[in-house]
């Protein structure tokens, strides 16, 4: 039987150490996310994989907020974030800076996540869309590519926080192997 490791034995970084640590060169863009719990869960996932920054766009709520804090468990204090009113303008701005922007969406010609391969030193931004409408069509059109998470069930969609976990884990693994 294995002993469960108490939190105090996990040797976690302090907030200050985390903020100055090397980050996974991925930017997360939340496009009009309605659920405060989903926003908090994405913050927590970004903390887990040392994601560089989160952009909260449109109607996406911003910290501090009790319901975001409830699921983020302090990650709003560790993960760098910024608010931008327009997701489309942000995508265009990032592309001008040489960032490769990917929508996480089911679209014609999308790349299956299992087939996506990072190139060396490629800076990425990934856009996750609204729980009902997904990523806005104009934003999809402005992105360099779209990634799709393979699914075999009947629902054809995942919760945004689950999608973020799946995609960020894959990108984190690929960055760690380079």
What total of structural domains would you count in the chain?
Answer: 1
Evaluate whether 142 touches 92 at the Cβ level (below 8 Å).
Answer: yes
In a domain, 127, yes or no: yes
pLDDT at 178: 80
Residue 2 lies inside a defined structural domain of this protein: no
**Reduced to 3 states, what is the DSSP secondary structure of residue 147?**
strand
Coil, helix or strand for 103? strand
- In sequence order, the 6+-apart residues with CB closer than 8 A to the CB of 93 are none
For 84-102, the pLDDT digits (tens) are 999 999 999 999 999 999 9
Q: Give the confidence band of 160 by pLDDT, cuts at 50, 70, 90.
A: very high
5 domain residue, yes or no: no
Q: What is the pTM of this model?
A: 0.96
Is residue 4 classed exposed, middle or buried when 0-12, 13-18 and 19+ CB atoms within 10 A define those classes? exposed
Is 9 inside any structural domain? no
Instruction: Name the residue range of residue 122's domain.
Output: 17-176
Q: What is the CATH number of the domain that holds 44?
A: 3.40.1280.10
């Amino acid at each position: 039987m294995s002993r469960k490791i108490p939190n105090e034995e996990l040797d976690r970084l302090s907030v200050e150490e985390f903020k100055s640590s090397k980050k996974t060169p991925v930017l997360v863009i939340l496009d009009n996310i309605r659920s405060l719990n989903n926003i908090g869960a994405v913050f927590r996932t970004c903390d887990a994989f040392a994601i560089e920054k989160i952009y909260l766009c449109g109607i996406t709520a911003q910290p501090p907020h009790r319901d975001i804090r409830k699921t983020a468990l302090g990650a709003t204090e560790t993960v760098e974030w910024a608010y931008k009113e327009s997701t489309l303008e942000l995508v265009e701005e990032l592309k001008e800076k040489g960032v490769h922007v990917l929508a996480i969406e089911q679209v014609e010609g999308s790349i299956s996540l299992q087939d996506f391969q990072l190139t060396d030193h490629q800076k990425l931004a990934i856009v996750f869309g609204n729980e009902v409408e997904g990523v806005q069509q104009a934003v999809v059109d402005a992105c360099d590519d779209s990634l799709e998470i393979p699914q075999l069930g009947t629902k054809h969609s995942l919760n945004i926080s689950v999608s973020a976990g799946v995609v960020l884990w894959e990108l984190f693994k690929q960055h760690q192997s380079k």
